[in-house]
Structure formats: C-alpha cells, structure tokens
Amino acid sequence: MATAIFMILMVCGYWYTNRDLTTRYKFNRSSGWDVYFLIALYGCIFILQGMVMTFLLWLCLFGISLAMNYSGIADAGHQQLQWDFLSWQLLGLQAPVMCMLAFAVLFCLYRSNWAHSANLNTDDRRKLYKHLTQSNGVEGLLFQCMEEGELAWITLKSRRIYIGMIHTASFENASMANIVLIPMLSGYRDGKTLSLCVEHNYSAWYAKHSIGLKSGDKSALNFRKVIMLDQVESLSLFDASSASALAL
C-alpha cells in the first residue's frame, strides 16, 4: 500500500510540474535534490486533496446510513455503509486508499489539462511570463525588449557587441540557454579605449534591399544570431536616439 501511494505521489507530482506553466518554469530552473522535493511537494498536495475527498465521501455514506436507519428503510435499523466502505478491498488495497489515489489522479489531471491555468490565452500567457520574469534581471529585460520592441545591447565575453531586436529567448535548459537576436548593428570594443567600433550596419542593409521582419524570401530572420547565454558579459537596453552619434 505504501508503495502504491508513493508511486502515485511521484507520478502526479512529475506530471503536474511538467505541464503547468508556472510550475514548469520553477521545475526547469531547479537542479539536484530541489527537483525531487518540488515533485514530492506537488504530489503530496494531490494526495492530501484525495484524502479530504475520501473523508467527505465517508461522511456522505455516514449521512446516508443515518437517513436509512431513521427512515426504517434498512432492516433492523443497523445500516452502516461508512464502516462497510472502510472494510471493502480491491486488488489487495482497501477501498478508502483506492478512492484517495483515484481522487489524487483526477485532481492532477484537472489541474494539468483542464483548469484555466493550463489553458491560458495569449494575453494571460504574456501576463504570466511578465510576472515570472520579474525575479530575474536578464529575463525581465529580454521580455521587455520582446514586448515593447526595444533594441538590446549585448556585449559578449569576447568583447563582441550586437545591437538588435530580441526574437526569442530560451532558459528551460541551463546548459543550452540562448538568445535569438535580429542584429541591427554589430562590432567590438576597442582593446585600449573600450569604445564601440561598428563593423556592420545591418539596418542600412535591410533598408537598402527592402528586407522586413516578416518571414519570407527577404526576411531579417535570415540574419538572426543565436547567442549562448553563458557567453554574454552584459546586457542592456539600447537608446535608438543615440545611434546617430555613432561613427558608422
């Protein structure tokens, strides 16, 4: 019985943490023992909910038994469905345990697939991501760039610099966390003065060849750069009004 409870607890916890958007965000950023404790935490919550529902079912049977005994429906007035429920067995498990596990699975499936939080529309997803990224400076700034169309200034450890629009950003796998950038300017920092030296003006190239941001034969997406997050030294917003001051 203990093995069955433990298995359902872990399976429900793992299923939920991989499908609920908010929890999956925490799960993908956890490592080591934190992963197991997070799974066990949500598994315990579903098991406790199953216990509560099983107790409510027992109370319903108790109420039905009282009604049958007082109304004279039961023979000799000794109907005790609640105690029969406790003694029933199925596949070697007592009925209350089976009901508790069944309720736990149902609650897990509901919260993972049918609840409102599992079926968010575009606006709700945007609000959720904005809330989740507030605790992380890098993710918050990248989300602001994507939401408001701001340009980002990315300086790599190699002193390479990219200025452009953030297309996507992935943080689910820490070892493969990356930023997809549509470049507008690129260059490097001078080794002595650390000033910006612009090498490529992508925005002028886009305008000259009528290249837009939409997908197609002529799309700025064809020039996108995938930058691994562990190669980024600094990240900031780029003030477009100061672009004219750069020596191009």
What's the pLDDT score for residue 138? 80
**240 and 130, same structural domain?**
yes
Q: Is the pTM of this model over 0.95?
A: no
Per-residue burial over 201-227, b if 16 or more Cβ lie within 10 Å, else e, is: bbbeebeeeebeeeeeeeebeebbbeb
pLDDT of residue 49: 92
169 and 59 share one domain: no
Q: What is the pLDDT of residue 248?
A: 45
Q: What is the mean pLDDT of each run of 10 residues along the chain (248 residues)?
A: 82 85 71 81 91 88 76 60 70 78 89 68 67 73 82 88 87 79 86 76 86 75 88 83 50
Pair 111, 134 in one domain: no
Q: Please write down the HEC assignment for all residues of the chain.
A: CHHHHHHHHHHHHHHHHCCCHHHHHHHHCCCCHHHHHHHHHHHHHHHHHHHHHHHHHHHHHHHHHHHHHHHCCCHHHCCCHHHHHHHCEECCEEHHHHHHHHHHHHHHHHHHHHCHHHCCCHHHHHHHHHHHHHHCHHHHHHHHHHHHCCEEEEEECCCEEEEEEEEEEECCCHHHCEEEEEEEEEEEECCCCCCEEEEEEHHHHHHHCCCECCCCCCEHHHHCEEEEHHHEEEEEEECHHHHHHCCC
CA distance linking residue 215 with residue 150, whole number of Å: 20
155 and 109 within one domain: no
Q: Tell me how many domains the chain contains.
A: 2
Same domain? For 41 and 99 the reply is yes
Among 96, 118, 140, identify where a domain stops: 118
- Check which CATH number belongs to the domain holding 175 and give it: 2.30.30.100
Residue 226 domain boundaries: 124-245
Residue 247, pLDDT score: 44
